[in-house]
Amino acid sequence: MATASKAPRATTRRLSSPPGTLGLYAKAALPLIPGASNLPFVAGAGGRIPRTTLTLDGVRTDRDQLAAYDRVCGFTLRDELPSTFVHVQAFPLHMALMTDGKFPFGAVGLVHLRNRITQLRPLGADERYDLRVHTMPIQPHPKGKTFTIVSEAHVDGELVWQDASTMLRRGKGDTSAPKPSKRQSPPATPTCPAPSELPFVALWKLGGDLGRRYGAVSGDRNPIHMHAYSAKLLGFPKAIAHGMWTKARCLAALESTLPDAYTVDVTFKRPILLPAKVAFAAEDGSFAVRNRKDDTKIHLEGTVTAA
């Protein structure tokens, strides 16, 4: 664990409008510059995660953005929001939290490990809702440290949607930390087959511009997704598909089978280098995105359960 002087004080910051992600990405990239983290307004210097809660009230849905999002992810355009779309709405708040000067890591280069969304009822596209976003304490991990950002959507004080995104900061790992594969994915049982065993459902052809297209509809313009050149600067051979696009695409494929209230939980196993052809496999609420030729190479695995 990081050395801590004293426990951070809990604060709540109320935002009046969603922060622009483009400026935040510039800010997010600053910790990559050697020494920049010593500056008070640049993230990466702190040892603990600040106990800040960001709130944004009265969030509205831009119908054009929803239509563009649905098209890129494969959802049918409806008057209800896909549960992953609310994540996109909360994303600027994630960025604002992670680019805060007191935040211990830089946001660029973080690896998305897991995302779990519970929708208690579908949100209507004309409903206004309040977002609350806060971060859970740092956890040790064999490959570094992890933390989880929790987001909630409320309508008139009623919780309707919750999202937990777990991020990995690569670094000196804690070998005593439980291995993620054991902690996060239980072994195959007769009712829950291993992702490599799930029956093939579809072949997806992902274009080289997918990262840019999803970046445009989601505001997540992390350079690792945008272009092979920018991805190379950050250590990836090619641009990689957004984990949350891949999750949304899975959810869109399962659209007709979803109940109104459900939890969809996925772990991101290995990046999808763009362009790509990948296999989608699913059965009885379990699903996976796999290498199209090698069923044992898993990009994403997940489950949907009624909530």
Partner 1 sequence: MTAGPRRVAVIGGNRIPFARSNSKYAHASNQDMLTAALDGLVARYGLEGERLGEVVAGAVLKHSRDFNLTRETVLGSRLAPETPAYDIQQACGTGLQAINLIANKIALGQIDSGIGGGVDTTSDAPIAVGEELRQILLDANRGRSTQDKLKPFLRFRPQHLAPAPPRNEEPRTGLSMGEHQARTGAEWGITREAQDELTYSSHKNLAAAYERGFNDDLVTPYLGLERDQNLRADTSIEKLAKLKPVFGGKSGTMTAGNSTPLSDGAATVLLGSEEWAEEHRLTPLAWFVDAETAAVDYVNGREGLLMAPAYAVPRMLARNGLRLQEFDLYEVHEAFASQVLSTLKAWEDPAFCQTRLGLDQPLGSIDRSKLNVNGSSLAAGHPFAATGGRIVASLAKALHERGGGRGLISICAAGGQGVVAILEA
CB 279 within 8 A of CB 289: yes
Q: Cα-Cα-Cα-Cα dihedral of 264, 253, 280, 95, to 10°?
A: -50
Give min distance, CB of 203 to partner 1, in A: 4
**Angle of helix 63-73 versus helix 83-98 axis, rounded to 10:** 100
Does residue 253 bind partner 1 (CB under 8 A)?
yes
- What residues contact residue 245 under an 8 Å CB cut-off, 6+ apart? 72, 73, 210, 214, 218
**The residue type at 298:** I
Distance CA 287, CA 192 (A): 10
**The residue type at 234:** L
Distance CA 204, CA 190 (A): 28
Does residue 282 bind partner 1 (CB under 8 A)?
yes
Smaller CB distance to partner 1: residue 4 or 202?
A: 202
Give min distance, CB of 277 to partner 1, in A: 8
Does residue 283 bind partner 1 (CB under 8 A)?
yes
Query: How many CB atoms lie under 10 A from the CB of residue 207?
Result: 11
Smaller CB distance to partner 1: residue 188 or 258?
A: 258
Q: How many residues bind partner 1 (CB under 8 A)?
A: 11
Give min distance, CB of 88 to partner 1, in A: 20
What x-and-dash track marks residues 4-43 binding partner 1 by CB under 8 A?
Answer: ----------------------------------------
CB 217 within 8 A of CB 286: no
The number of C-alpha atoms within 13 Å of 195 and in the hemisphere containing its C-beta is 24
Give min distance, CB of 67 to partner 1, in A: 11
Distance CA 97, CA 190 (A): 41
Smaller CB distance to partner 1: residue 30 or 282?
A: 282
Give min distance, CB of 285 to partner 1, in A: 11
Does residue 258 bind partner 1 (CB under 8 A)?
no
Pick the piece of the chain touching partner 1 (CB under 8 A) from 7-15, 89-97, 251-259, 268-276.
251-259
Pick the piece of the chain touching partner 1 (CB under 8 A) from 27-35, 131-139, 183-191, 196-204.
196-204
Binding to partner 1 (CB under 8 A) within 198-227 occurs at 199, 201-205
Pick the piece of the chain touching partner 1 (CB under 8 A) from 34-42, 91-99, 252-260, 266-274.
252-260
- Name beta bridge partners: 151: 133, 163
What is the binding site for partner 1 (CB under 8 A)? 199, 201-205, 253-254, 257, 282-283
